[in-house]
Structure 1
Amino acid sequence: MAHDSLAAWLRAQPTLTGTAPDLDLDALPDDPVELFLDWMRGAVAQGVPEAAAATLATIGADGVPDVRTLILKDVDARGWVFASTRSSVKATQLAAAPVAALNFWWPPILRAVRVRGAVVEASAEDSAADLAARSAAARAIIAPGNWVLWRIVPAQVEFWQGAEDRHHTRIIYRAEGAHWVRTDNARDAKQKKGQTA
Protein backbone atom coordinates (compact mmCIF):
# COMPACT_ATOMS: atom_id res chain seq x y z
CA MET A 1 0.00 0.00 0.00
CA ALA A 2 1.51 3.34 -1.06
CA HIS A 3 2.03 5.91 1.66
CA ASP A 4 -0.59 8.28 0.27
CA SER A 5 -3.19 5.53 0.10
CA LEU A 6 -2.27 4.32 3.59
CA ALA A 7 -2.76 7.83 4.97
CA ALA A 8 -6.13 8.06 3.20
CA TRP A 9 -7.10 4.62 4.48
CA LEU A 10 -6.18 5.55 8.03
CA ARG A 11 -8.13 8.80 7.78
CA ALA A 12 -11.17 6.84 6.58
CA GLN A 13 -11.22 4.57 9.63
CA PRO A 14 -14.07 5.31 12.06
CA THR A 15 -13.11 7.19 15.21
CA LEU A 16 -15.06 8.35 18.24
CA THR A 17 -17.78 5.81 17.53
CA GLY A 18 -18.81 5.42 21.17
CA THR A 19 -21.40 7.33 23.14
CA ALA A 20 -20.27 9.73 25.83
CA PRO A 21 -22.23 9.74 29.09
CA ASP A 22 -23.73 12.96 30.40
CA LEU A 23 -21.19 15.14 32.17
CA ASP A 24 -22.20 17.83 34.67
CA LEU A 25 -19.24 20.19 35.05
CA ASP A 26 -20.99 21.88 37.97
CA ALA A 27 -21.05 18.66 39.99
CA LEU A 28 -17.40 17.61 39.74
CA PRO A 29 -15.70 16.47 42.96
CA ASP A 30 -12.73 18.35 44.40
CA ASP A 31 -10.62 15.18 44.40
CA PRO A 32 -9.58 13.48 41.12
CA VAL A 33 -9.57 10.04 42.79
CA GLU A 34 -13.32 10.35 43.35
CA LEU A 35 -13.94 11.32 39.72
CA PHE A 36 -11.64 8.55 38.47
CA LEU A 37 -13.49 5.90 40.48
CA ASP A 38 -16.81 7.24 39.21
CA TRP A 39 -15.60 7.10 35.59
CA MET A 40 -14.07 3.63 35.98
CA ARG A 41 -17.22 2.24 37.58
CA GLY A 42 -19.19 3.80 34.75
CA ALA A 43 -16.89 2.17 32.19
CA VAL A 44 -17.36 -1.25 33.81
CA ALA A 45 -21.14 -0.73 34.06
CA GLN A 46 -21.22 0.08 30.32
CA GLY A 47 -19.39 -3.14 29.52
CA VAL A 48 -16.06 -1.59 28.54
CA PRO A 49 -13.66 -4.54 28.26
CA GLU A 50 -10.48 -4.50 30.32
CA ALA A 51 -11.42 -1.20 31.97
CA ALA A 52 -8.53 -1.54 34.45
CA ALA A 53 -5.97 -1.84 31.65
CA ALA A 54 -3.75 1.19 31.16
CA THR A 55 -0.67 2.26 29.24
CA LEU A 56 2.29 3.10 31.46
CA ALA A 57 5.04 5.38 30.14
CA THR A 58 8.47 5.48 31.75
CA ILE A 59 11.80 6.92 30.65
CA GLY A 60 14.50 4.65 29.23
CA ALA A 61 18.23 5.01 29.92
CA ASP A 62 18.51 6.66 26.51
CA GLY A 63 16.04 9.37 27.58
CA VAL A 64 13.36 8.08 25.21
CA PRO A 65 9.86 7.31 26.54
CA ASP A 66 8.95 3.63 26.80
CA VAL A 67 5.38 2.33 27.07
CA ARG A 68 3.56 -0.87 27.86
CA THR A 69 0.08 -1.99 28.87
CA LEU A 70 -0.61 -3.21 32.38
CA ILE A 71 -3.42 -3.58 34.91
CA LEU A 72 -4.23 -1.04 37.60
CA LYS A 73 -3.88 -2.63 41.04
CA ASP A 74 -5.47 0.06 43.22
CA VAL A 75 -6.04 3.78 43.55
CA ASP A 76 -6.49 5.90 46.65
CA ALA A 77 -5.26 9.18 48.11
CA ARG A 78 -1.69 7.85 47.95
CA GLY A 79 -1.77 7.33 44.19
CA TRP A 80 -2.39 4.96 41.28
CA VAL A 81 -0.87 1.53 41.89
CA PHE A 82 0.75 -0.92 39.46
CA ALA A 83 3.11 -3.87 39.93
CA SER A 84 5.82 -5.89 38.25
CA THR A 85 8.99 -7.80 38.97
CA ARG A 86 12.01 -5.97 40.29
CA SER A 87 13.98 -7.54 37.43
CA SER A 88 11.73 -5.98 34.76
CA VAL A 89 12.74 -3.24 32.34
CA LYS A 90 10.20 -0.88 33.90
CA ALA A 91 11.72 -1.45 37.36
CA THR A 92 15.19 -0.56 36.07
CA GLN A 93 13.80 2.55 34.38
CA LEU A 94 11.87 3.62 37.48
CA ALA A 95 14.95 3.17 39.66
CA ALA A 96 16.87 5.55 37.39
CA ALA A 97 14.02 8.02 36.73
CA PRO A 98 11.16 7.62 39.27
CA VAL A 99 8.47 9.38 37.22
CA ALA A 100 5.74 7.97 34.99
CA ALA A 101 2.51 8.63 33.15
CA LEU A 102 -0.51 6.34 33.02
CA ASN A 103 -3.25 6.48 30.39
CA PHE A 104 -6.68 4.82 30.44
CA TRP A 105 -8.75 4.76 27.23
CA TRP A 106 -12.36 3.59 27.21
CA PRO A 107 -13.53 3.90 23.54
CA PRO A 108 -17.17 2.79 23.98
CA ILE A 109 -17.81 5.77 26.29
CA LEU A 110 -15.34 8.21 24.65
CA ARG A 111 -13.42 8.74 27.87
CA ALA A 112 -9.75 8.75 28.76
CA VAL A 113 -7.80 9.57 31.91
CA ARG A 114 -4.14 10.59 32.09
CA VAL A 115 -2.12 10.51 35.33
CA ARG A 116 1.38 12.03 35.59
CA GLY A 117 3.72 12.24 38.54
CA ALA A 118 6.50 10.86 40.69
CA VAL A 119 6.68 7.15 41.38
CA VAL A 120 7.32 5.69 44.84
CA GLU A 121 7.77 2.08 45.81
CA ALA A 122 5.12 0.65 48.14
CA SER A 123 6.08 -1.09 51.35
CA ALA A 124 7.41 -4.63 51.26
CA GLU A 125 4.28 -5.68 53.15
CA ASP A 126 1.99 -4.18 50.50
CA SER A 127 3.99 -5.82 47.71
CA ALA A 128 3.88 -9.18 49.49
CA ALA A 129 0.12 -8.88 50.05
CA ASP A 130 -0.44 -8.15 46.35
CA LEU A 131 1.68 -11.14 45.35
CA ALA A 132 -0.25 -13.35 47.77
CA ALA A 133 -3.50 -12.29 46.09
CA ARG A 134 -2.29 -13.53 42.69
CA SER A 135 -3.09 -16.99 41.42
CA ALA A 136 -0.86 -19.90 42.39
CA ALA A 137 0.31 -20.16 38.78
CA ALA A 138 1.26 -16.48 38.71
CA ARG A 139 3.04 -16.73 42.07
CA ALA A 140 5.00 -19.78 40.95
CA ILE A 141 7.02 -17.83 38.38
CA ILE A 142 8.00 -15.00 40.77
CA ALA A 143 11.31 -15.31 42.61
CA PRO A 144 11.26 -14.43 46.33
CA GLY A 145 11.43 -10.67 46.89
CA ASN A 146 11.05 -9.94 43.18
CA TRP A 147 7.46 -8.61 43.20
CA VAL A 148 7.04 -4.86 43.66
CA LEU A 149 4.12 -2.44 43.87
CA TRP A 150 4.65 1.17 42.82
CA ARG A 151 2.43 4.22 43.22
CA ILE A 152 2.24 7.15 40.85
CA VAL A 153 1.81 10.13 43.14
CA PRO A 154 -0.02 12.42 40.74
CA ALA A 155 1.06 15.95 40.01
CA GLN A 156 -1.67 16.16 37.37
CA VAL A 157 -4.73 14.12 36.44
CA GLU A 158 -6.56 14.89 33.20
CA PHE A 159 -10.05 13.61 32.36
CA TRP A 160 -10.93 13.72 28.68
CA GLN A 161 -14.37 13.20 27.20
CA GLY A 162 -14.62 13.03 23.44
CA ALA A 163 -17.30 14.53 21.24
CA GLU A 164 -18.22 13.83 17.62
CA ASP A 165 -17.96 17.53 16.80
CA ARG A 166 -14.38 17.48 18.18
CA HIS A 167 -15.27 19.92 20.96
CA HIS A 168 -13.76 17.55 23.48
CA THR A 169 -13.92 18.30 27.19
CA ARG A 170 -10.75 18.32 29.28
CA ILE A 171 -10.91 18.48 33.06
CA ILE A 172 -7.49 18.95 34.64
CA TYR A 173 -6.61 18.58 38.31
CA ARG A 174 -3.18 19.95 39.32
CA ALA A 175 -1.68 19.29 42.73
CA GLU A 176 -0.78 22.43 44.62
CA GLY A 177 0.56 21.44 48.01
CA ALA A 178 -2.08 19.37 49.78
CA HIS A 179 -4.86 20.70 47.54
CA TRP A 180 -6.09 20.24 43.99
CA VAL A 181 -6.76 23.05 41.54
CA ARG A 182 -9.27 22.12 38.85
CA THR A 183 -9.73 23.69 35.43
CA ASP A 184 -11.69 22.64 32.38
CA ASN A 185 -11.55 23.85 28.79
CA ALA A 186 -15.34 24.30 28.53
CA ARG A 187 -15.39 26.90 31.33
CA ASP A 188 -12.20 28.49 30.03
CA ALA A 189 -13.79 28.87 26.58
CA LYS A 190 -16.93 30.43 28.09
CA GLN A 191 -14.85 32.86 30.16
CA LYS A 192 -12.79 33.90 27.15
CA LYS A 193 -15.96 34.34 25.09
CA GLY A 194 -17.44 36.51 27.83
CA GLN A 195 -14.30 38.65 28.02
CA THR A 196 -14.34 39.31 24.28
CA ALA A 197 -18.10 39.88 24.01
Structure 2
Amino acid sequence: MHEPHPNGTPEPLTKDDFTAASEPFRLFEEWLKEAVTSEINDPNAMALATTGADLMPNVRMVLLKGVDAEGFVFYTNSESAKGEELAANPQAALVLHWKSLRRQVRVRGKVSMVTPEEADAYFLSRPRQSRLGAWASRQSRALDSRALFEAAYEDVNTQYPGEAIPRPQHWNGYRVTPVAIEFWHDRPFRMHDRIVFTRPSPEDPWLKTRLYP
Protein backbone atom coordinates (compact mmCIF):
# COMPACT_ATOMS: atom_id res chain seq x y z
CA MET A 1 0.00 0.00 0.00
CA HIS A 2 1.18 3.52 -0.75
CA GLU A 3 1.06 6.28 1.86
CA PRO A 4 -1.56 8.95 1.07
CA HIS A 5 -0.96 12.64 0.53
CA PRO A 6 -2.50 14.93 3.15
CA ASN A 7 -5.45 15.42 0.78
CA GLY A 8 -6.08 11.68 0.71
CA THR A 9 -4.47 10.94 -2.65
CA PRO A 10 -1.96 8.04 -2.57
CA GLU A 11 1.66 8.88 -3.28
CA PRO A 12 2.55 8.47 -6.97
CA LEU A 13 4.21 5.20 -7.77
CA THR A 14 7.91 5.34 -8.46
CA LYS A 15 9.56 3.66 -11.41
CA ASP A 16 10.67 0.88 -9.08
CA ASP A 17 7.05 0.30 -8.00
CA PHE A 18 5.95 0.01 -11.61
CA THR A 19 8.73 -2.32 -12.65
CA ALA A 20 9.02 -4.49 -9.54
CA ALA A 21 7.10 -7.29 -11.26
CA SER A 22 7.96 -8.85 -14.60
CA GLU A 23 4.26 -8.81 -15.58
CA PRO A 24 1.39 -6.39 -14.91
CA PHE A 25 -1.19 -8.53 -13.14
CA ARG A 26 0.34 -8.22 -9.67
CA LEU A 27 0.38 -4.44 -10.01
CA PHE A 28 -3.24 -4.47 -11.22
CA GLU A 29 -4.34 -6.60 -8.29
CA GLU A 30 -2.67 -4.17 -5.88
CA TRP A 31 -4.41 -1.20 -7.46
CA LEU A 32 -7.78 -2.97 -7.50
CA LYS A 33 -7.37 -3.92 -3.85
CA GLU A 34 -6.76 -0.28 -2.95
CA ALA A 35 -9.74 0.81 -5.08
CA VAL A 36 -12.03 -1.56 -3.18
CA THR A 37 -11.30 0.39 0.00
CA SER A 38 -11.56 3.88 -1.52
CA GLU A 39 -14.20 3.90 -4.28
CA ILE A 40 -17.75 4.60 -3.13
CA ASN A 41 -19.44 2.45 -5.79
CA ASP A 42 -18.35 -0.44 -8.00
CA PRO A 43 -14.54 -0.36 -7.92
CA ASN A 44 -14.72 -3.15 -10.52
CA ALA A 45 -16.67 -1.01 -13.02
CA MET A 46 -14.94 -0.73 -16.39
CA ALA A 47 -15.67 0.74 -19.80
CA LEU A 48 -15.79 -1.93 -22.52
CA ALA A 49 -15.16 -0.81 -26.11
CA THR A 50 -16.01 -3.08 -29.04
CA THR A 51 -16.51 -2.82 -32.78
CA GLY A 52 -18.75 -4.88 -35.01
CA ALA A 53 -18.67 -5.69 -38.68
CA ASP A 54 -19.32 -2.01 -39.51
CA LEU A 55 -16.19 -1.02 -37.49
CA MET A 56 -18.17 1.67 -35.65
CA PRO A 57 -16.85 1.79 -32.06
CA ASN A 58 -19.26 1.15 -29.21
CA VAL A 59 -18.57 1.61 -25.49
CA ARG A 60 -20.49 0.88 -22.28
CA MET A 61 -19.87 0.12 -18.62
CA VAL A 62 -19.66 -3.48 -17.40
CA LEU A 63 -18.38 -5.11 -14.22
CA LEU A 64 -15.08 -6.95 -13.95
CA LYS A 65 -15.93 -10.34 -12.43
CA GLY A 66 -12.57 -12.06 -12.52
CA VAL A 67 -8.92 -11.41 -13.27
CA ASP A 68 -5.93 -13.72 -13.41
CA ALA A 69 -2.92 -14.35 -15.62
CA GLU A 70 -5.29 -15.41 -18.42
CA GLY A 71 -7.12 -12.09 -18.55
CA PHE A 72 -10.08 -9.97 -17.47
CA VAL A 73 -13.55 -11.57 -17.28
CA PHE A 74 -17.04 -10.09 -17.58
CA TYR A 75 -20.46 -11.62 -18.26
CA THR A 76 -23.27 -10.60 -20.58
CA ASN A 77 -26.02 -11.70 -22.94
CA SER A 78 -24.39 -12.99 -26.12
CA GLU A 79 -27.39 -11.78 -28.11
CA SER A 80 -26.87 -8.19 -26.93
CA ALA A 81 -25.16 -5.54 -29.07
CA LYS A 82 -21.81 -6.18 -27.43
CA GLY A 83 -22.23 -9.93 -27.77
CA GLU A 84 -22.93 -9.61 -31.49
CA GLU A 85 -20.01 -7.22 -31.94
CA LEU A 86 -17.64 -9.57 -30.14
CA ALA A 87 -18.82 -12.44 -32.33
CA ALA A 88 -17.99 -10.38 -35.43
CA ASN A 89 -14.72 -8.96 -34.08
CA PRO A 90 -13.39 -10.74 -30.95
CA GLN A 91 -11.19 -7.89 -29.78
CA ALA A 92 -11.87 -5.29 -27.10
CA ALA A 93 -10.46 -2.46 -25.02
CA LEU A 94 -11.14 -1.82 -21.32
CA VAL A 95 -10.69 1.18 -19.05
CA LEU A 96 -10.91 1.19 -15.26
CA HIS A 97 -10.79 4.67 -13.74
CA TRP A 98 -10.58 5.17 -9.99
CA LYS A 99 -11.28 8.84 -9.29
CA SER A 100 -10.58 8.51 -5.56
CA LEU A 101 -7.06 7.25 -6.30
CA ARG A 102 -6.45 9.38 -9.41
CA ARG A 103 -5.53 6.23 -11.31
CA GLN A 104 -6.51 4.58 -14.56
CA VAL A 105 -5.78 1.23 -16.22
CA ARG A 106 -6.26 0.60 -19.93
CA VAL A 107 -6.36 -2.90 -21.46
CA ARG A 108 -6.40 -4.08 -25.08
CA GLY A 109 -6.61 -7.67 -26.24
CA LYS A 110 -8.30 -10.61 -27.89
CA VAL A 111 -11.61 -11.87 -26.52
CA SER A 112 -12.76 -15.44 -26.00
CA MET A 113 -15.60 -17.05 -24.10
CA VAL A 114 -14.97 -18.61 -20.72
CA THR A 115 -15.72 -22.31 -20.35
CA PRO A 116 -19.34 -23.38 -19.74
CA GLU A 117 -18.25 -24.58 -16.31
CA GLU A 118 -16.93 -21.12 -15.40
CA ALA A 119 -20.11 -19.46 -16.67
CA ASP A 120 -22.32 -21.93 -14.79
CA ALA A 121 -20.42 -21.37 -11.54
CA TYR A 122 -20.66 -17.60 -11.74
CA PHE A 123 -24.33 -17.66 -12.80
CA LEU A 124 -25.20 -19.79 -9.76
CA SER A 125 -23.44 -17.27 -7.49
CA ARG A 126 -25.74 -14.44 -8.60
CA PRO A 127 -28.84 -13.41 -6.63
CA ARG A 128 -31.97 -15.29 -7.66
CA GLN A 129 -33.57 -12.11 -9.03
CA SER A 130 -30.58 -11.47 -11.28
CA ARG A 131 -30.75 -15.00 -12.64
CA LEU A 132 -34.44 -14.55 -13.43
CA GLY A 133 -33.66 -11.25 -15.12
CA ALA A 134 -31.13 -12.93 -17.38
CA TRP A 135 -33.95 -15.10 -18.73
CA ALA A 136 -36.52 -12.29 -18.96
CA SER A 137 -34.37 -9.68 -20.71
CA ARG A 138 -33.95 -9.69 -24.49
CA GLN A 139 -31.01 -7.36 -24.02
CA SER A 140 -30.47 -4.56 -26.58
CA ARG A 141 -33.67 -5.32 -28.47
CA ALA A 142 -36.64 -2.93 -28.73
CA LEU A 143 -39.07 -3.01 -25.79
CA ASP A 144 -42.57 -1.59 -26.33
CA SER A 145 -43.26 -1.05 -22.63
CA ARG A 146 -41.81 -1.68 -19.19
CA ALA A 147 -44.91 -3.74 -18.41
CA LEU A 148 -43.92 -6.33 -21.02
CA PHE A 149 -40.51 -6.78 -19.37
CA GLU A 150 -42.06 -7.11 -15.93
CA ALA A 151 -44.56 -9.65 -17.26
CA ALA A 152 -41.74 -11.70 -18.77
CA TYR A 153 -39.94 -11.60 -15.43
CA GLU A 154 -43.04 -12.90 -13.63
CA ASP A 155 -43.43 -15.67 -16.21
CA VAL A 156 -39.87 -16.84 -15.53
CA ASN A 157 -40.44 -16.50 -11.78
CA THR A 158 -43.40 -18.86 -12.12
CA GLN A 159 -41.46 -21.27 -14.30
CA TYR A 160 -38.57 -21.44 -11.81
CA PRO A 161 -40.13 -21.03 -8.33
CA GLY A 162 -37.07 -22.25 -6.43
CA GLU A 163 -33.32 -21.69 -6.53
CA ALA A 164 -32.69 -24.18 -9.36
CA ILE A 165 -32.52 -21.70 -12.24
CA PRO A 166 -30.32 -22.94 -15.11
CA ARG A 167 -28.04 -20.60 -16.98
CA PRO A 168 -29.52 -19.46 -20.32
CA GLN A 169 -27.42 -20.57 -23.27
CA HIS A 170 -27.28 -16.96 -24.45
CA TRP A 171 -25.75 -15.74 -21.15
CA ASN A 172 -21.98 -16.15 -21.22
CA GLY A 173 -18.68 -14.98 -19.86
CA TYR A 174 -15.98 -13.29 -21.91
CA ARG A 175 -12.26 -13.10 -21.21
CA VAL A 176 -10.12 -10.26 -22.57
CA THR A 177 -6.61 -11.69 -22.88
CA PRO A 178 -4.40 -8.60 -22.99
CA VAL A 179 -1.57 -7.73 -25.31
CA ALA A 180 -1.29 -4.26 -23.72
CA ILE A 181 -1.96 -2.98 -20.19
CA GLU A 182 -1.24 0.65 -19.36
CA PHE A 183 -1.11 2.11 -15.84
CA TRP A 184 -1.68 5.85 -15.45
CA HIS A 185 -1.33 7.86 -12.25
CA ASP A 186 -2.27 11.52 -11.96
CA ARG A 187 0.41 13.95 -10.84
CA PRO A 188 0.32 17.77 -10.55
CA PHE A 189 0.76 19.97 -13.60
CA ARG A 190 0.25 17.06 -16.01
CA MET A 191 3.50 15.39 -14.93
CA HIS A 192 1.63 12.11 -14.84
CA ASP A 193 3.14 8.63 -14.60
CA ARG A 194 2.41 6.25 -17.48
CA ILE A 195 3.79 2.73 -17.72
CA VAL A 196 2.69 0.29 -20.41
CA PHE A 197 3.25 -3.46 -20.54
CA THR A 198 3.03 -4.90 -24.06
CA ARG A 199 3.56 -8.24 -25.76
CA PRO A 200 3.07 -9.28 -29.40
CA SER A 201 0.88 -12.22 -28.35
CA PRO A 202 -0.28 -13.87 -25.10
CA GLU A 203 2.50 -16.43 -25.49
CA ASP A 204 5.24 -13.77 -25.48
CA PRO A 205 6.90 -12.17 -22.43
CA TRP A 206 5.88 -8.70 -21.32
CA LEU A 207 7.89 -5.62 -22.26
CA LYS A 208 7.73 -2.53 -20.00
CA THR A 209 7.95 1.04 -21.24
CA ARG A 210 7.55 4.41 -19.55
CA LEU A 211 5.57 6.88 -21.69
CA TYR A 212 5.43 10.64 -21.81
CA PRO A 213 2.12 11.80 -20.28
- Superposition pairs of residues 39-58 of structure 1, within 5 angstroms: 39-58=31-50
Q: Does residue 1:185 correspond to 2:175, yes or no?
A: no
Equivalent position of 1:164 in the other structure:
188
Partner SS for 1:61: coil
Q: Distance in 2 between matches of 1:18 and 1:173?
A: 28
Equivalent position of 2:25 in the other structure:
33
* Conservation of the 8 A alpha-carbon contact between 1:18 and 1:110: no
* Conservation of the 8 A alpha-carbon contact between 1:73 and 1:81: yes
* CA apart distance, 1:48: 4.7
> Structure 1 48/180 Cα, relative in aligned 2: closer, same or farther at 3 Å?
farther
After TM superposition, the score normalised by the length of structure 1 is 0.81
Q: Distance in 1 between matches of 2:40 and 2:76?
A: 24
Which moved further from structure 2: 141-150 or 67-76?
Answer: 141-150
* Conservation of the 8 A alpha-carbon contact between 1:20 and 1:161: no
Equivalent position of 2:177 in the other structure:
153
Amino acid at match of 2:85: Q
Percent identity at matched positions?
Answer: 36
* Conservation of the 8 A alpha-carbon contact between 1:20 and 1:111: no
What is the aligned-residue RMSD (CA, Å)? 1.9
> Structure 1 88/162 Cα, relative in aligned 2: closer, same or farther at 3 Å?
same
Q: Distance in 2 between matches of 1:18 and 1:70?
A: 27
Q: Which runs of 5+ in 1 are unaligned?
A: 1-16, 190-197
Poorly superposed stretches of 4+, deviation over 4 Å: none
Q: Which runs of 5+ in 2 are unaligned?
A: 1-6, 136-167
Higher strand share: 1
* CA apart distance, 1:43: 1.5
After TM superposition, the score normalised by the length of structure 2 is 0.75
**What's the CA shift string for 1:146-185, capped at 9, x where partnerless?**
2100100101000000112101111100024431111113
Amino acid at match of 2:174: W
Q: Distance in 1 between matches of 2:46 and 2:90?
A: 18
Partner SS for 1:120: strand
